[in-house]
Amino acid sequence: MSNLKNLALSATVSATALMAAGSASAVEIEYWQYFFEARVTAMEQLIENFEAANPDITVKMTHFPYADYRTKVAAAVPAGEGPDVVQLFYGWLNDYMDAELIQPLPTDVFPPARIEAEFFPMVGAMERDGAYMALPTAVRSLALFYNERLFEEAGIDGPPETLDELVETAKALTKRDGAGNVTQVGLTTGMTGQDHHWFREVLTRQHGSTPYTDDYQTVTYNDEGGLAALNFYTGLQSEHGVTVTGFMDEAQAAFKAGRAGMHIDGSFRIGALNNTRGLKWGVAELPAGPTGIRSNYSSYWVNAITTKAEGERYEAAVKFMDYITSDEAMQIWLDTVGELPAKPSVGMTEANANDPVFGPFIRGLEYAHTTIFADESAQRGALVDMVQRIELEGQDPAESLATAAAADQAILDAYYNR
């Protein structure tokens, strides 16, 4: 009987203590991101560390399937129902800034000069009117994946260093059946995958052109260099026969199945390839251009503070932002998710920069560009159509390039002039 009494008493005491603790930690902030298991695990760990260091703040994480995420956020944030700190794709940020749904980061905690010094250069796109609007924990870049077994079989020593070597290597890796149909491609291609980034930010620059003006509001790839880049790209299939557009439906599927010697893709593909049985693969930096120019495309998800966070919650949100953009957080993110740190101080450490898998991606960040899209899927469509007009309708490449540039410019104009 007294046992039971004791139990009841202790239960009451501990409940009261819990409630007291609850009222002391008055601030709860909400964090939203899309569901990807490793990202959620990493964020849980970050939240745990953060709460241990800041016992008066609790962070509640909510996640949604990727397919619904953009619409959910766009519906919830304007309605004031959303999170205090939200993860957004960098390309969506303009719209959120224009609609005043996110707040600038306070310059005392995040001084622009310090951010410029500490982060990789492409993060500069997040600055507006002397303050940063958002910051990434991790970034992504492109690299050349290659199938080590197929390389060995074809007697190739290592991945190509230049575009010329890329073509030669791809030739050695291509296989055809008796009727001449390609059954194994040297290099996967398809503007619907990551190739539109490769063309825009890498190939055009390597052929002496630029994709856009620095503010990304004017198309500049419709020139000699752009045409040379396009001819190189379509030549892979039409001239050298080392690839077939959309081979095996999806480039990454062809690579996974061991039917493609090389494949250009983002760092987010590492996880999927790691679990593929029987596939031995390596990674190399994207090949350098004819004049030795190297370039890369980088994209990232940023964390931003919404206008919903005010007062205490705002203070808490700033502290949380400060932690999730710290060196420690970036290392945890790299180890758990496999996404690249946004700061050279973490990325370019001896261990990370020379990592056989992450190294080529991280080294690529140093010379990477981040396209500021007005409408990524529509702008991608312009390049998809450009190549299809040449391949399916036999249009003159120069003409097709001009049409694509005009379509791309029309999308930019519609966005910036409204």
Partner 1 sequence: MFRYSNLTVAQKQVVWAWGFLALPILFYVVIRFYPTFGAMVLSFQDWNLLGDKSWTGFDNYAKLFADPVFWKVFGNTFLYLGIGTPVSLVISFFIAYHLDKVRFMHGFLRALYFLPFLTSAVAMAWVWRWFYQPVPIGLFNNFLASAGIPQFPFLNSTTWALPSILAPAVWAGLGFQIIIFMAGLRAIPQSYYEAARIDGVSNWTILWEITLPLLKPTLVFLVVFSSIGFLRIFDHVFNMTTNNPGGPLNSTKPLVLMIYDTAFNSFDMGYAAAQTVVLFLVLLTVSLVQLRIMRDR
Closest to 122 (Cα-Cα) out of 288, 340, 270: 340
Contacting partner 1 within 38-77 (CB under 8 A): 70-71, 74-75, 77
Residue closer to partner 1 by CB (options 129, 393) is 393
Q: What would the x/- binding string for partner 1 be over residues 190 to 219, using CB under 8 A?
A: x-xx--------------------------
Contacting partner 1 within 4-23 (CB under 8 A): none
Q: In angstroms, rounded to a whole number, what is the distance separating the alpha carbons of residues 364 and 336?
A: 21
Residue closer to partner 1 by CB (options 78, 235) is 78
Q: Pick the binder of partner 1 from 2, 23, 393, 394 (CB under 8 A).
A: 393
Q: What would the x/- binding string for partner 1 be over residues 77 to 96, using CB under 8 A?
A: xx----------------xx
Judged by CB under 8 A, does residue 282 bind partner 1? no
The distance of closest approach from Cβ of residue 378 to partner 1 in the complex, given in angstroms and rounded to an integer, is: 6
Q: How long is the chain?
A: 418
Q: DSSP assignment of 243-274, as one string?
A: --BTTTSSHHHHHHTT-EEEEEEEGGGHHHHH
Residue closer to partner 1 by CB (options 221, 247) is 247
- What's phi and psi for 272, nearest 5 deg? -65, -35
Q: Report how many residues bind partner 1 under the rule CB under 8 A.
A: 38
Helix (H, G, I), strand (E, B) or coil at 234: helix
Residue 56's alpha-carbon distances to 25, 49, 219, 340, 350, in angstroms, are: 4, 13, 50, 31, 37
Judged by CB under 8 A, does residue 238 bind partner 1? no
Residue closer to partner 1 by CB (options 316, 404) is 404
Two structure tokens written together for 72: 């959910």
Instruction: Give the Cβ contact number of residue 109 at 10 Å.
Output: 11
Residue closer to partner 1 by CB (options 156, 248) is 248
Q: In angstroms, rounded to a whole number, what is the distance separating the alpha carbons of residues 80 and 71?
A: 15
Judged by CB under 8 A, does residue 250 bind partner 1? yes
For helices 397-416 and 224-238, angle between their N-to-C axes, nearest 10 degrees: 120
Which amino acid, residue 41?
Answer: T
Judged by CB under 8 A, does residue 259 bind partner 1? yes
Residue closer to partner 1 by CB (options 7, 392) is 392
Instruction: Give the Cβ contact number of residue 60 at 10 Å.
Output: 12
Closest to 308 (Cα-Cα) out of 316, 297, 300, 319: 316
Q: Pick the binder of partner 1 from 13, 15, 21, 99 (CB under 8 A).
A: 99
Residue closer to partner 1 by CB (options 127, 376) is 376
Judged by CB under 8 A, does residue 134 bind partner 1? no
Residue closer to partner 1 by CB (options 54, 388) is 388
The distance of closest approach from Cβ of residue 78 to partner 1 in the complex, given in angstroms and rounded to an integer, is: 6
Q: Pick the binder of partner 1 from 51, 355, 375, 413 (CB under 8 A).
A: 375
Q: In angstroms, rounded to a whole number, what is the distance separating the alpha carbons of residues 149 and 107?
A: 52
- Own/partner long-range contacts of 60-69 (Cβ < 8 Å, ≥24 apart): 60/28, 60/29, 60/30, 60/31, 61/30, 61/31, 61/32, 61/33, 62/30, 62/31, 62/32, 63/32, 63/33, 63/34, 63/35, 64/32, 64/34, 64/35, 65/34, 65/35, 66/34, 66/35, 66/36, 69/34
Two structure tokens written together for 116: 């410029």
Q: Pick the binder of partner 1 from 27, 85, 101, 412 (CB under 8 A).
A: 101
Name the β-bridge partners of 62: 32
Residues contacting residue 87 through CB under 8 Å, at least 6 positions apart: 31, 32, 33, 34, 301, 302, 303
The distance of closest approach from Cβ of residue 358 to partner 1 in the complex, given in angstroms and rounded to an integer, is: 28
The distance of closest approach from Cβ of residue 394 to partner 1 in the complex, given in angstroms and rounded to an integer, is: 11
Q: Pick the binder of partner 1 from 142, 173, 230, 244 (CB under 8 A).
A: 244
Name the β-bridge partners of 305: 85, 103
Judged by CB under 8 A, does residue 179 bind partner 1? yes
Window contacting partner 1 (CB under 8 A); options: 25-33, 286-294, 333-341, 385-393 = 385-393
Residue closer to partner 1 by CB (options 40, 175) is 175
Residue closer to partner 1 by CB (options 58, 192) is 192
Helix (H, G, I), strand (E, B) or coil at 217: coil
The distance of closest approach from Cβ of residue 86 to partner 1 in the complex, given in angstroms and rounded to an integer, is: 12
Judged by CB under 8 A, does residue 381 bind partner 1? yes
- Positions touching partner 1 (CB under 8 A) are 70-71, 74-75, 77-78, 95-96, 98-99, 101, 177, 179, 181-183, 190, 192-193, 244-250, 259, 375, 377-378, 381, 384-385, 388-389, 392-393, 418
